[in-house]
Amino acid sequence: MKKYYKDLILIIVLIIVSIGIYIGYSFFAEKGTKVRIYVDKKLYKELDLSVNQSKNISTEYGTNIIKIKDNEVFVESASCDNQICVNHKAISNSKESIICIPNRLVVKIEESVDDSDSKVGEIDDIAK
Ligand SMILES: [Zn+2]
């Protein structure tokens, strides 16, 4: 009987924790747009687009200095030969990206994962 009680507490704790994670996640998801920096197709760093900052991304492929200013992100300087990423205009909309092929770097603006769900809702509203 005591073991059953323990298991029940464990289940309740797990439910509370998962609800907490879900609430925390949706809170952060609504917080705004993220700048995700990928190096060699792996997520290297995630930055908040609303926070002015500059980040030095130094990897085995090269160095890029990423700058976020007034909700826009751009590559301030880079070690690559072609400088395409530096000459790319600042991006501010989700799904936009700056790619530095020599340094295998991708700077991407992404909305939260919940975004697709809210878009489905919008389409439903229009259909009505
Ligand atoms: Zn470049």
Q: What are the boundaries of each domain within the chain?
A: 1-31, 32-111
- Say if residues 24 and 114 touch (Cβ distance below 8 Å): no
More confident residue, 112 or 45: 45
- Fold for 32-111, please state it: mini-chromosome maintenance (MCM) complex, domain 2 (2.60.320)
Distance of CA 24 from the midpoint of ligand 1 (Å)? 36
- Say if residues 41 and 64 touch (Cβ distance below 8 Å): no
Distance of CA 79 from the midpoint of ligand 1 (Å)? 7
Distance of CA 101 from the midpoint of ligand 1 (Å)? 6
Q: What are phi and psi of 46, to 5 degrees?
A: -120, 125
Residues with CB under 5 A from ligand 1 (ion): 78, 80, 85, 100
Q: Note the pLDDT of residue 78.
A: 98
pLDDT tens digits, 66-81:
999 999 999 999 999 9
Distance of CA 99 from the midpoint of ligand 1 (Å)? 7
Q: Note the pLDDT of residue 127.
A: 53
* pTM, entire model: 0.64
pLDDT at 60 over 80: yes
Distance of CA 83 from the midpoint of ligand 1 (Å)? 5
Average per-residue pLDDT for the chain: 86
Give residue 100's pLDDT band: very low, low, confident or very high (50, 70, 90). Answer: very high
